[in-house]
Amino acid sequence: MELKKIALNDVHESLGAKMVPFAGYNMPVRYSSDLEEHNTVRNAVGIFDVSHMGEFMVKGPQALDLIQRITTNDASKLTPGKIQYSCFPNEEGGIVDDLLVYCMAENEYMLVVNASNIDKDWAWANKYNTEGAELENISDEMSLFAVQGPKTVEALQSLTSVDLGSMAYYTFEKGEFAGVPDVILSATGYTGAGGFEIYVKNEDAKKVFDAIMEAGKEHGIKPIGLGARDTLRLEMGFCLYGNDINDSTSPLEAGLGWITKFDKEFVNAENLKEQKVAGVQRKLVGFEMLEKAIPRAHYEIVNAEGEQIGEVTSGTMSPSLGKGIGLGYVQTDYSKPGTEVFIRVRNKDMKGQIVKPPFVKK
């Protein structure tokens, strides 16, 4: 299959980005080095182009009923301007995808889904849309910039009259930004460094991107690739679909019980309710290395006797902490923070311990 290109593909190439295939798109993985870009976001401000993400509009009197049916969280709690983290549960107890639900107005929502799952999620939403909610896939029309880091408000405030500093986490406002009307400014992010996600139409993407780069120049803004995005999200213990959660991991195993609300009916609710009562056999945990080693996905997690008790799903050398950290599933008996575990790195068992994410405290 031919790789899709985001609207600013040529801009990133001109900025010297190393482009790689990711989720069916040609994406910038780095511009300088992962370490430099990671530290830029932690200490100043960086801009990610994550326009590969998918956006679905759900409208009409049946919109909320559909969202309630296909997601685990309780979207009835949302009011216009609020955002919710949620997931689509499948019929077998796993996760179709994790997503953000934006309440745009009464009877109008936007679902933001992972790039690798756009087609799968679209089919899933349509499968359960039996009552006639109005669905529109606008993924190919939209660009999305994540501007992240402690200096984000200072870097962006001159571009809009929206008071960015007063926006609460997981809220959004629609307003003029960089001279472009109806831009969605969202106080979310995937880095734990603070910041905003900015949704614009493709035809306005270059104007907005250039304005952000210019306004952020005095604050040290740099373009950031997917490499640093991964280490930043991992330091916060945020799940990555396809690594830490997938079609065979239940939200309860993945520590997403807080977005799984059993006071409403949703796909496979009964089976998940039974799993909650019975207790899960394995849990997604965070761990840090106590010896010098870098954990990687699919490495075995073993106990002191060398018996396998789980598997690493994501791992890296934390740039902020200078030690190996990771996420993985372990048998529930080994999931308590402080528990000693070992990561099998090239046939050598290296000592670590279970810790409760985030690894890097805000």
Residue with tokens 């960086």: 46
Give the pLDDT confidence score for residue 12 in this predicted structure.
Answer: 98
Give the pLDDT confidence score for residue 188 in this predicted structure.
Answer: 97
Under 8 Å between Cβ of 37 and 222:
yes
* pLDDT tens digits, 126-177: 999 999 999 999 999 999 999 999 999 999 999 999 999 999 999 999 999 9
Peptide bond before 358: cis, by omega within 30 degrees of 0?
A: yes
Tokens of 154: 């200072």
**Nearby residues of 276 by Cβ (< 8 Å), 6 or more positions away:** 252, 257, 260, 262
Under 8 Å between Cβ of 101 and 75:
yes
Give the pLDDT confidence score for residue 64 in this predicted structure.
Answer: 98
Tokens of 162: 């929206």
Residue with tokens 């001279």: 179
Under 8 Å between Cβ of 354 and 337:
yes
Give the pLDDT confidence score for residue 179 in this predicted structure.
Answer: 98
What is residue 350's three-state secondary structure?
strand
Classify residue 114 by its DSSP letter: -
Give the pLDDT confidence score for residue 362 in this predicted structure.
Answer: 75
Distance CA 290, CA 11 (A): 42
Q: Which residues pair with 49 in a beta bridge?
A: 145
* pLDDT tens digits, 312-337: 999 999 999 999 999 999 999 999 99
Give the pLDDT confidence score for residue 1 in this predicted structure.
Answer: 76
> How many Cβ atoms sit within 10 Å of the Cβ of residue 237?
22
Element (H, E) at 27: strand 25-30
CA 140, 142, 148, 154: dihedral to nearest 10 degrees?
A: 160
Long-range contacts of 334-339 (CB under 8 A, 24+ apart): 334/285, 334/301, 334/303, 334/309, 334/310, 335/283, 335/285
Tokens of 201: 């139409």
Q: Is 197 annotated as a binding residue?
A: yes
Distance CA 330, CA 320 (A): 25
* pLDDT tens digits, 236-295: 999 999 999 999 999 999 999 999 999 999 999 999 999 999 999 999 999 999 999 999
Query: Domains in the chain and their CATH numbers?
Result: 4-51+140-235 (3.30.1360.120), 54-137 (3.30.70.1400), 281-356 (2.40.30.110)
Give the pLDDT confidence score for residue 246 in this predicted structure.
Answer: 98
Under 8 Å between Cβ of 310 and 296:
no
Which whole number is the average pLDDT over 205-232? 98
What is residue 45's three-state secondary structure?
coil
Tokens of 269: 């609710």
Determine the length of the chain: 362
Give the pLDDT confidence score for residue 171 in this predicted structure.
Answer: 98
Pairing status of strand 54-59 against strand 134-137:
antiparallel
* pLDDT tens digits, 32-68: 999 999 999 999 999 999 999 999 999 999 999 999 9
Peptide bond before 357: cis, by omega within 30 degrees of 0?
A: no
pLDDT at 97 over 90: yes
Give the pLDDT confidence score for residue 271 in this predicted structure.
Answer: 97
